[in-house]
Structure 1
């Protein structure tokens, strides 16, 4: 292999390990870590791969988890059969168990001797919980008896069957299809979804879709049912050309999808939030900041990086449960101080706040200084237990998340170097 190609492969591997959301790691034959992805390092509460290299599982995980991982690795090396998509527990940043789908493969040298293990893991907690919740609730979707049928070319109702319609309209034959859509939207559809429903079932829109080859489709809306409660209802529809009347027909039947949709909403929200504080997690904040970097080129934004001072002393002195209470309290104060901004916890005692469309940087600075004051926590005898340091960076269109986060992080460390319990802006010249 040429030197140029080797260098290219090394750079490619470095990029993969830096950017992949999957948990990637490499161990040598002695089961010592020699490299890992940034996401894996963060899983074990390290800020970089360099802090993981040279350690073993017993250095990074609790004893029982480490023992399980080591036994799996030894079994792999003895059997020489790859482990593929094995579901196993992993800790999150709060020490609570989540689940990953893990695959492990042997690495061999030119003599076919085993020199290490490549591991690839992916967080599948949401999928596991979805299956568990389905089993617990015996989730099922119920098909309504309610059916609508219309002649679109004549704009005429043909059929409206089911209890849902009986109090809405008595003589549906005398009502045209467009009027029926209007009656449904004003009498049953939640006000937030009326416009969308009317546009979707607009007569000209439906005919145009049929001419473009769209003959089957569905529309989900929030709709009042017999018991006056609003539920998520799916209108499943099909359009066809009637051979008898030589006209375009529409048939729609309704399916109650409320339980399934609400379950997905809960799991989606859970996947986007930090379990302990209910703030947005690192990935969610990354997605939001990337949106700012890709949209609105004339808009200025600010990122605040908040780190609690002396927090390790809290855990060491008072225990992790008390430490969790401090983190929850800090999160609540951040949400109260930034009611219109996105607030996230990105790990340990580190928080970030995204302030979009900044027109007054002094206002942002004042909010940051208020946080410094609010997050000052005293013990019963008046001693200061925890303060916070805040770094602020401004950013606009372009760049990337890692760059913006690194600037805010450097500003925060500059605040710590100046004595903690204060705010610092990212200014390249002053941070060199």
Structure 2
């Protein structure tokens, strides 16, 4: 039977092939690891080196560009701002505005205003020179009177917003509505003109086409690949190569670095430089606050394309590594296959030798070994079928049915259900699905139809590849002597060595368990104390005392049923615990104990001794639901008994 179970040629060959594959796999993996580590180390160092050089170049170019653009922007805006401020403080212009109301309908006044504004236009070659009167709401330029500025017109919002502000001058980008200007997008510098009393009497300024700055920004983008943008304090794009403040688009609604918005807009003290990376792109960003304009200069060096180039280069190197590894693996596999085959043959022979040794050892250790095909609910070999028949199962009986027959005919009743629950096919398959590989169950069985003995079944679960089934190797071992020794030692641990009753720990734990199992059931808890026992010990010695204790414990045990708990918890202190139908039954039992334990005993050393007992009783759950409470209350009742003269009992009724 055992040789049929273990020494299967197919299994050994399968394992030999498996070992061969493992050796080859380990060798190939080792070679792969060495090659991969070498190439990866070289590639990573090269990649990081190239990336570091590239990043330093990016930072240098971006820093120089931002400084150059900042300087050019300052140069571009300082001059028109200064000219506009000069005009705003010109006494002649203030005189014109003071005379406006009186000369409003005089063509010569309009001509004087045109001549004044055109003179600045011709001298400095600006695209626009204008004056807006706060009193008449007239808009003059180098052509004369251009238009009125009625409040509520969206085109005039800039004028009324500036009048309401406290700024001395401001910039805004708008379309130029002047005749023949073609609505070109223009940067306007607006300067406040103060009257004699400090009130605002007008707004004067110059304008130049935004395309001039856009061309400047475009030149940097074409030369260095850097994006340049001027934004206001809200992030609105004022000037870039493709957008102006006229469109009122927010930079951070479409850029790849929206998370930097607050960091850029809130910092006006120092230049900020930061690398960014997001799903939309990556790059190096420098932002500078241009104080004269109240705008932020944002220089963006987009490195997305270069990052992609570096990444592609790295991927190409990885592909080269993979190709080299594939070639090396093919060569190694072909070279060492024969060597691995020899190693595998040696491993199979060694395994065969090991199995033979294991078989011999197993035959000495186990009573029976058999194999079950759990998936198909049948014995896995003819020898196993014969074994089931020897236990009383009919021929060709399915495994689960045979299990029921064996349980009914041979296994002791209290172990039958546990046996079935452990080894029925559905239970075994469920255990295997949970990852359990070993099962064990100890029970009592009989082989002669009369005498039961202890048996241990140990089962090993495994998958059988040939028919894709779950199988169970079962080992039956007679453990009767081991169990008897175990139970004997356990019993010794539970019992008091002198009296044979439960010792203190065992009595306490058994009572606790009973209370937990049946918390609502009525139980009587007795504490018994031998009256005047100390005098016997003191006068006649411990041998006489032991004689009294043994006699008392035997008499006490005789007063209770097998299921009741009786123990010795101290020198002459005993406890008993039993279920009762009511409180009166506990009282009757206590009275019977007092009578039964009142004995006359002849002790060799002491002569005739009269033995009496004092008892304290607590009834659960009324007097306590746990051992400690019951003990405390019964002990109090015992104390009351002794105070009343001993040789009696007291039922605990409260303190």
Query: Mapping of 1:155-166 within 5 angstroms?
Result: 155-159=377-381, 160=383
Would you say 1:395 and 2:620 are equivalent positions?
yes
CA distance in 2 between counterparts of 1:213 and 1:310 reads: 64
In structure 1, list runs of 5 or more residues that go unmatched.
1-140
Q: Which residue is 2:391 aligned to?
A: 168
Change (3 A) 1:277 1:169: closer
The alignment yields a C-alpha RMSD, in angstroms, of 2.9
CA distance in 2 between counterparts of 1:265 and 1:196 reads: 20
Q: Which residue is 1:420 aligned to?
A: 646
Contact 1:310–1:385, Cα closer than 8 Å, also in 2: no
Q: Which residue is 2:443 aligned to?
A: 221
Q: Which residue of 469, 476, 489 corresponds with 1:267?
A: 489
Structure 1 residue 261, shift from structure 2 partner? 1.7
Q: What is the CA deviation profile of residues 393-432 of structure 1, one whole-angstrom value per residue up to 9, with x for unaligned ones?
A: 1232875433321221121121011011011122333xxx
CA distance in 1 between counterparts of 2:607 and 2:417 reads: 58
Change (3 A) 1:164 1:385: farther
Report the secondary structure of 1:324's partner residue. helix
CA distance in 2 between counterparts of 1:390 and 1:296 reads: 24
Contact 2:496–2:503, Cα closer than 8 Å, also in 1: yes
Change (3 A) 1:171 1:364: closer
Q: Which residue is 2:456 aligned to?
A: 234
Would you say 1:373 and 2:595 are equivalent positions?
yes
Query: Mapping of 1:147-158 within 5 angstroms?
Result: 147-158=369-380
Q: Which residue of 364, 368, 371 corresponds with 1:146?
A: 368
Would you say 1:406 and 2:593 are equivalent positions?
no
Contact 1:143–1:256, Cα closer than 8 Å, also in 2: no
Q: Which residue is 2:466 aligned to?
A: 244
Structure 1 residue 319, shift from structure 2 partner? 3.0
Q: Which residue is 2:564 aligned to?
A: 341
CA distance in 2 between counterparts of 1:401 and 1:182 reads: 42
Q: What is the CA deviation profile of residues 252-288 of structure 1, one whole-angstrom value per residue up to 9, with x for unaligned ones?
A: 0111222222111111111111111111111112112
Would you say 1:280 and 2:502 are equivalent positions?
yes
Between stretches 390-399 and 269-278, larger displacement belongs to: 390-399
Q: Which residue of 295, 298, 303 corresponds with 2:520?
A: 298
Contact 2:586–2:619, Cα closer than 8 Å, also in 1: no
CA distance in 1 between counterparts of 2:367 and 2:517 reads: 46
Query: Mapping of 1:26-45 within 5 angstroms?
Result: none
Structure 1 residue 376, shift from structure 2 partner? 1.5
Change (3 A) 1:256 1:142: farther
CA distance in 1 between counterparts of 2:394 and 2:618 reads: 65
Change (3 A) 1:185 1:296: closer
Q: What is the CA deviation profile of residues 142-178 of structure 1, one whole-angstrom value per residue up to 9, with x for unaligned ones?
A: 6224122121221111234599667336986x23212
Structure index of larger Rg: 2
**Relative to total residues, which structure has the larger strand share, 1 or 2?**
1
Structure 1 residue 322, shift from structure 2 partner? 2.6
Change (3 A) 1:286 1:350: same
Would you say 1:352 and 2:575 are equivalent positions?
yes
CA distance in 2 between counterparts of 1:177 and 1:164 reads: 12
CA distance in 2 between counterparts of 1:188 and 1:379 reads: 50
Structure 1 residue 227, shift from structure 2 partner? 10
Contact 1:147–1:162, Cα closer than 8 Å, also in 2: no
Q: Which residue is 1:75 aligned to?
A: none
CA distance in 1 between counterparts of 2:472 and 2:368 reads: 14
TM-score using structure 2 length = 0.41
TM-score using structure 1 length = 0.60
Between stretches 301-310 and 180-189, larger displacement belongs to: 180-189
CA distance in 2 between counterparts of 1:367 and 1:170 reads: 52
Structure 1 residue 342, shift from structure 2 partner? 0.7
Q: Which residue is 1:67 aligned to?
A: none
CA distance in 2 between counterparts of 1:349 and 1:171 reads: 61
CA distance in 1 between counterparts of 2:632 and 2:394 reads: 67
Contact 1:389–1:422, Cα closer than 8 Å, also in 2: yes
Query: Mapping of 1:192-211 within 5 angstroms?
Result: 192-211=414-433
Query: Mapping of 1:172-191 within 5 angstroms?
Result: 174-191=396-413
Change (3 A) 1:292 1:157: closer
